[in-house]
Each structure stands twice: as structure tokens, then as C-alpha cells.
Amino acid sequence: MLEIDAVTRTYADITAVDSVSFAVPAGAMVGFVGGNGAGKTTTMRIIMGILAPDSGSVRWRGQQLNPAIRSRIGYMPEERGLYPKQPLLEQLVYLARLHGMSQRQARERITALLQRFGLGDRRADKVETLSLGNQQRGQIIAAVLGEPVALVLDEPFSGLDPAAVDQMSALLREYTAAGVPVLFSSHQLDLVDRLCDSIVVLHDGKVVANGTSAELRETGQMRYRLTVGDDAGWVRGHGGVRVLDLDGPSAVVEIEAADEAIAQQLLREALGRGSVQEFSPVRPSLSEIYRGVAA
Amino acid sequence: MSLETRPPGEASDDAAASQAGALAPDHRDWALVASREIRVKLTDRNFLVSTGITLVLIIGLLGLQAFIAARSGATEYSVVVSSAQGEAIVGQAEAVLQAQEDDASVSVTRVGDAAAGEALVTEGDADGALTQRQGGWTLLSDGGGPAELERALADAVRQAALTANAEAAGTSVPELLSGAELTTEDVSGEDAAEEVVQIVAGILFGVLFYMASLTYGISIANSVVEEKQSRIVEILAAVIPVRALLTGKVLGNTLLAFGQMALLVGVSLIGLSFTEFDRFLPMMTEPLLWYLPFFVAGFVALACMWAAAGALASRTEDLQSTTLPLTLTLVLVFVVALNLEGAARTAGSFVPVMSTILMPMRLLEGGVGWWEPVAALAATVVFGYLTILVGSTLYRRALMQTQGRVTLRQAMRLKG
């Protein structure tokens, strides 16, 4: 388990990260969400030891992160690239050796990874001659070549073509299935919703929401969509109900104090007035939750 | 395909953590960085071609020198005589020539009379014919004989006449000449040729340092900015300490600079030993041995500053402006060093970096106390320690700033 505990970091007079705490449990995929400048990259750089926190700490299995453990964390920075003029295999072997692997170990592992990502026959090519998609596959390999015990990925899906998104998703699932904790940031909320076990929402350097997708949806609000045979304008006058949207026969309402009894009352009233075509609870999408907490 | 990741569960975390220790980079990560720097350079075609051309030029120049010396070296003359006396005079002339040039030789052909000798000369078979006429000697030539041969023969004739005349007067040549010789003595203790060699060797040492410092300094800055521009730097910084990255870069390029210098100097010295200048080699040994540590110290003293200049840029295009202060400093040091004289020059030979140019020059000239190079070297080491502190701080602070050029003032304000 990777734990981030009350980490704070300031730049001049801006507090980029303000007492941020959350955990990435073993085998869990945690989505790190927030607008530009929310502090995601700074937090990830602090986890990787590239930036020092002003206060707070990062722990691995309860132990303060040290360079030896950090070298086993796979990292993909937001701004990433490889040496443009060096052959792919050669520089990946170099990176693996910096991770502490022997020359032979490194060659074997990277050759296998290159095969997996369909780059087997491009191994001797200089990176600058590869297509953008293949360069990105090379960067993915760079992130996982050190037999990582945890993964910290800053916008790993940004700029990937659909095929690479699928390869990347499959790869991340393999890691979580093997018990490796994965933290990744993304602006693609649908992807986060689909892949992640839990989500941490950062806003202005603070954690404003943290939990599983289901937990985040438990916002304490109860919303229903009601569609009746003719005009639904009458719902405005119904007690204990706030109308969020009204369009002819259809209305989206919020039940005050999430009182189920009021909802049932509303349904009876509607049935009493005529036909009811739809009466269903409305689950907020992740984007709506995100907008709610990060407003 | 399996990814060989650790199995899940609490126990696996422990295993992973302990294995992290086993697989973790040891303190040789800087060595990996250094060896990459060297490997990339050694497989760079431009680098190989330019080094090759320089070597070919050196070998070619020295070879040409040796070739010219060999061709003009063996002086051979042939003289025709018609008497035993003539033969003796030519033998004496050969001795005179050999005093100036070891392998000079004069071959003698004995003919019956002067007419036969003259015939051989006009046919071009001999350089001259020596005949005795009216109590004196005459050298017959076809259009004027070689000046050196004429001088040597004139010397020999004069010597023979002197000996004969002295005997007739009842005395000897040494007696006649006693007190007649003017000996000259140069109190400066300098040999003109030696002085030229000292100056040339000193300037070459200086030029080599200047070129190496500039070339490999820019190479360090380039390598830093390449990592920034390609954005690989953050991947590297997450795996190894930034300090190790800097150490490896400086070390790798220092070894490259030193290796190339040693190769050029080595080839030059070996080449020199095949030319007539080989007599100057012994006097260069000590200054050369001093030059090596001065070269390394002078280079390292600026290396971290070059790395900092690279880190202040974020694209290759910025390099020209961020490295300008260093380039100018080097040019200034080089030009000032070559133009200093007297006490100022002595003082300059203790100034860090400038000492790499001036101290070996002074050592070549001689008369330098043993403590002087030691003190100058110590000053460079202290100066180098300071530049490494400043340079590595700037490097560390500016390295992650990938948005545009970082000014010196901004870098100083940045947090590590």
C-alpha cells in the first residue's frame, strides 16, 4: 500500500499541494482527478522524490519511501520522452540498468516487452524515427521495465491512440490483478470511471473527494426523473420537491432530505393525475460529481 | 504474456520491498551515466570523423617532416683528382663536411691527368675536378659546383697549405694559431631552437586545453539540454538522484576530453620521435607530466558550470545564450594568458583555469620552483570545488523547469 500523508508543498506564495492525504491499496487502481493546476503533478512528483514536500510524508507499507523503494516504482511523468537519437532497445536497457538490473536481465525483459507492444522489429531504430504512437508505447515500456511494485502514472492515456489506450488499460489491469497498486491521473473521466476502483478528486491543492465510484455517488441527494402523459408543470407546487429541470411532460426533481416517503407521495400524485411513463432514480455521472465537488 | 510482477497480498509487499533492496541501484548509477555519455560519443559519426581527421593531419605533418629530412639528409658529392695529394685534400674536405652533417660523403675518383678530370666534370659524372696549377689548387666545375663542397675544399686546401708552410718555417699549425681563436659564449643559456620548441609546445598545450574545454563543455551542456528537451529527464530523475546524473555526465565528458587529448599528444610525441626534433623530447617530459593534472583540474573546474548552462536552457536553441558567459570567459582566459608578460604572467600562472595554459608554458621554459605548480593546482582544486557547488545547485534547480529559458536569478530563487 502506498500512503500519502498530509503532504504540503508551496511555490513562492502559492500552495500547490495543501495537506493532501490518501492511500493506494495493494491491487487497487486509483484515479487522480482534478483540473489543471489542481496539484496532481506536484503530488506525483513528491511521491517520486523529484520534489521535496515542505511537510508530510509518503510511505510504502508503512515505511518512509527511500531511493531503493522508489527505484521500484514505475513512473510515467506528464512531460515524457526518450532520447531521440538513441536506438529504442539500447536506451530502454540503459533505463532498466539504472533501475538496478543486470545487462542480461534488462535485455531479456525489454525484448519481451517490445514484443508485447509490437515493437520487436523496431528495437534497433532511433526513437526519432518511430511514429508518435510507437514512441508512446516505448514510454509505457519505460514506466514498467523496472519490475515495478507500484505504478504512478501522470496522464498515461493522454495522446494515446485507441489501440494504445486498450493496451495500456489491459496492462494496468494485469498489474492490479498481481497486487500492484496503481495511481494514475487523467482528464478522461469516463476512462477513470471505467477503470478505477476508487477516485481522489483534487481541487486547489486539496483533496475534495475520495472514495469508490459508488461512494462518491452517494452524495446524500435523491433525484428522480418523472415523465407523465401531459404537462408536468404541476410538480413545481409539490411540497418537499425541488425542480432541477422541466421540459414539457418530463421533469428532474430532487427530493428534499432524501426522504423516500416524499418520492412515493410524488409518484402517487402523478398517477392520480393521469398516466406515468417514467419514474426513475437519477445517478449523477462522475463528471457531475466532479463538477459538484470541484466547483 | 506474463509480466512477472510480484503476486498480490501482504506477504508479496514484504517480498517486493526486500527485493527492492536487492535490485535497487547501488552507488554505481553515476558510472552507468558516464558510460552512456562515452558510448554515445564514441558511436557518433561526426566525433569519429573529426578525431580521425585531426590524427591524420598530425601524422601527415610529422610524416612529411621526416620525409623531407630523409630526402635532403644524405649529402653526396663526387670529386675527381689526379694525384695522391688531391686525394688527401678531398679526404680532409669530407671530414669538414661530416662535422656539420653525419652522413655526408665525398667520393674520390683518381684519373691520370687534369684533362681526363675535366672531361668527367663536363659529362656530369662528377661535381668537380681538383687539380694543382702553379703551386695552387683549382677546382674545375661545370657551371659552378655546390657551394658547400667548395667551402669544404677551400677549408681543406687552406689547412694543407698551412701545414706545409708551417713545416717549411720550422713550426707547426697549432703553434701558429695559438691565441688566434675567438670563442663565443651565450650567457643567456638559451638555445634558439629550444626556445622555439618551448613556445610552440606551450601554445599547443594551451590550444589543446582551450579546444577541449570548449568542445566538451558544450558537449556537456548539449547532453543536459537534450535530456530536458526530450523530456526524459524526469524519468531519469525519478530513478536516480540528480547528483548521480550530473556526476556521470561530468565524469564521462572529462574522460572523453582527457582521452582525446592524450591520444593527440601521444601520437604527436611518437611522431616527433621519428623526426629530427626528437632531441627536444626529454625537456618536455616534466612539463607534460604536470600538464596532465592541470588539464583535468582546469576542465573539471568548469564542467559543472557547463552543466548548469545546459540546465538553464530548455531547448538547444537557448544554449547559445546560456553558454555565452562561459565561452567568453574561456576566450578571455586564453587570449589574456597568451599576452601576459613578466610578473603579470607569473601571477597569471596561479589563476585557476588560466594556470592550465600558463603554468605548463613556464615549466617548459624552466626555472620554476616545485611549489609553484603545486600551489597553482591547489588553487584550481579549491576554485573547482566552489564551481561544482554553484554549478550543481543551479543544475538541480533549473533541471525540471522545462518551460522556456531560466535566468540565473530565477534559478537562484527556485526551490530544490
pLDDT in the model for residue A295: 65
pLDDT of residue B12 exceeding 50, the answer is no
pLDDT in the model for residue A3: 95
Q: What is the mean pLDDT of residues A46-53?
A: 91
SS3 B15: helix
pLDDT in the model for residue A159: 82
- Percent of chain A at pLDDT above 70? 99
B8/A contact by beta carbon, under 8 A? yes
Architecture field, domain A220-293: 2-Layer Sandwich (3.30)
Q: Please report which confidence band the pLDDT of residue A193 belongs to, taking 50, 70 and 90 as the band edges.
A: confident
A13 half-sphere exposure, CB direction, 13 A CA radius: 0
Q: Please report which confidence band the pLDDT of residue B371 belongs to, taking 50, 70 and 90 as the band edges.
A: very high
Subunit contact B402:A79, Cβ cutoff 8 A: yes
Subunit contact A99:B239, Cβ cutoff 8 A: yes
Q: What is the mean pLDDT of residues B367-388?
A: 93
A118/B contact by beta carbon, under 8 A? no
Q: Is B384 left (phi over 0), alpha (psi -120 to 50) or beta?
A: alpha
CA distance B30 to chain A (A): 9
Q: What is the mean pLDDT of residues B283-299?
A: 91
Instruction: Count Cβ–Cβ pairs < 8 Å, chain A vs chain B.
Output: 138
Subunit contact B13:A61, Cβ cutoff 8 A: yes
What CATH number belongs to A2-214? 3.40.50.300
Spatial distance between the Cα atoms of A167 and A160, rounded to a whole number of angstroms: 10
CA distance B236 to chain A (A): 8
The pLDDT tens digits for A108-139 are 999 999 999 999 999 999 999 999 888 989 99
Range with the poorest average pLDDT among A189-193, B291-295, B302-306: A189-193
Closest Cβ opposite residue B20 in set A50, A69, A171: A69
B35/A contact by beta carbon, under 8 A? no
Subunit contact B4:A147, Cβ cutoff 8 A: yes
pLDDT in the model for residue B7: 36
The pLDDT tens digits for B79-108 are 898 888 888 888 888 888 887 777 788 888
Please state, rounded to an integer, the average pLDDT across all residues of chain B.
Answer: 84
Q: Widest CA span of chain A, in angstroms?
A: 79
pTM > 0.80: no
Domain spans in chain A, listed from the N-terminal domain onward: 2-214, 220-293
Range with the poorest average pLDDT among B169-178, B185-194, B388-397: B185-194
Q: Please report which confidence band the pLDDT of residue B415 belongs to, taking 50, 70 and 90 as the band edges.
A: low
Domain spans in chain B, listed from the N-terminal domain onward: 29-59+191-413, 76-170
Please state, rounded to an integer, the average pLDDT across all residues of chain A.
Answer: 90
Q: ipTM value of the model?
A: 0.82
The pLDDT tens digits for A216-249 are 877 667 889 999 988 888 988 888 888 888 998 9
SS3 A199: strand
C-alpha cell at A244: 432541477
pLDDT in the model for residue B38: 94
- Residue bearing the bigger pLDDT, A104 or B281: A104
Domain B76-170 has CATH 3.40.190.10: yes
pLDDT of residue A30 exceeding 70, the answer is yes
A138/B contact by beta carbon, under 8 A? no
Spatial distance between the Cα atoms of B75 and B53, rounded to a whole number of angstroms: 35
Range with the poorest average pLDDT among A96-100, B182-186, B354-358: B182-186
Range with the poorest average pLDDT among A140-149, B127-136, B261-270, B352-361: B127-136
Q: What is the mean pLDDT of residues B160-168?
A: 87
| Residues of chain A with C-beta less than 8 angstroms from the C-beta of B6 | 147, 149, 178-180
| Residues of chain A with C-beta less than 8 angstroms from the C-beta of B10 | 26
CB B307 within 8 A of CB B249: yes
Spatial distance between the Cα atoms of A150 and A182, rounded to a whole number of angstroms: 6
Among B254, B310, B256, CA closest to B48: B256
Residues 6+ apart with CB under 8 A from B72: none
pLDDT of residue A80 exceeding 70, the answer is yes
B182/A contact by beta carbon, under 8 A? no
The full DSSP string for B32-86 is: HHHHHHHHHHHT-HHHHHHHHHHHHHHHHHHHHHHHHHHHHH--EEEEEESSHHH
pLDDT in the model for residue A220: 65
A70/B contact by beta carbon, under 8 A? yes
Closest Cβ opposite residue A98 in set B4, B239, B400: B239
Closest Cβ opposite residue A95 in set B4, B235, B416: B235
Which residue in B has a C-alpha nearest to residue A141's C-alpha? B3
Subunit contact B17:A61, Cβ cutoff 8 A: yes
| Residues of chain B with C-beta less than 8 angstroms from the C-beta of A183 | none
Among A272, A279, A282, CA closest to A226: A279
Subunit contact A71:B234, Cβ cutoff 8 A: no
How many of the other CB atoms lie within 10 Å of CB of B156? Answer: 23
CA distance A75 to chain B (A): 7
The pLDDT tens digits for B18-45 are 444 444 445 578 899 999 999 999 988 8
CA distance B264 to chain A (A): 28
CA distance A1 to chain B (A): 8
CA distance A3 to chain B (A): 13
A8/B contact by beta carbon, under 8 A? no
pLDDT in the model for residue B15: 41
pLDDT in the model for residue B168: 87
Range with the poorest average pLDDT among A28-37, A260-269, B188-197: B188-197
